[in-house]
Amino acid sequence: GAVVSQHPSRVICKSGTSVKIECRSLDFQATTMFWYRQFPKKSLMLMATSNEGSKATYEQGVEKDKFLINHASLTLSTLTVTSAHPEDSSFYICSARGSLAGYGYTFGSGTRLTVV
């Protein structure tokens, strides 16, 4: 079946530093990648949608300069949290479109970011 590998699974970083999260489709080409943020015991909030080779489309209220999304290839999309602050601590998860598995959507395993 389709697999999306998301790394790292957990990361702790210091305030002011940047963190890069990778989502890689292992056995299919991810034409579209969705990035979500989830607060504890809350639902998934869509942050942005990226298509390979083009700029990401950000949801209202999401800072483009803070959450940099790159989808440079059909198998890799990255989310970089720049100048991280404690309020950026959250669970980030990606979902890839490109395989018929899961009726078109395959989720990564998520990244738990803690900014100290």
Partner 1 sequence: AQKITQTQPGMFVQEKEAVTLDCTYDTSDPSYGLFWYKQPSSGEMIFLIYQGSYDQQNATEGRYSLNFQKARKSANLVISASQLGDSAMYFCAMREGPIGNQFYFGTGTSLTVIP
Residues that bind partner 1 (CB under 8 A): 31-32, 34, 38, 41-44, 46, 49, 91, 93, 95, 97, 102-105, 107, 109-110, 112
Q: Cβ of residue 32: shortest distance to partner 1, in angstroms?
A: 6
Residue 49's H or E segment, with its range, is strand 44-51
Token readout for 72 is 């440079």
Residue number, 22 or 107, with CB nearest to partner 1: 107
Phi, psi of 100 (to 5 degrees): -80, -15
β-bridge mates for residue 38, sequence order = 44, 91
Q: Cβ of residue 44: shortest distance to partner 1, in angstroms?
A: 5
Residue number, 38 or 114, with CB nearest to partner 1: 38
Token readout for 43 is 């639902």
Q: How many residues does the chain have?
A: 116
Residue number, 5 or 82, with CB nearest to partner 1: 5
- Please check whether residue 74 is in contact with residue 30, taking contact to mean a CB–CB distance below 8 angstroms: yes
Q: Cβ of residue 16: shortest distance to partner 1, in angstroms?
A: 26
Question: Which 8-state DSSP code applies to residue 108?
Answer: -
Residue number, 81 or 94, with CB nearest to partner 1: 94
Q: Cβ of residue 41: shortest distance to partner 1, in angstroms?
A: 8
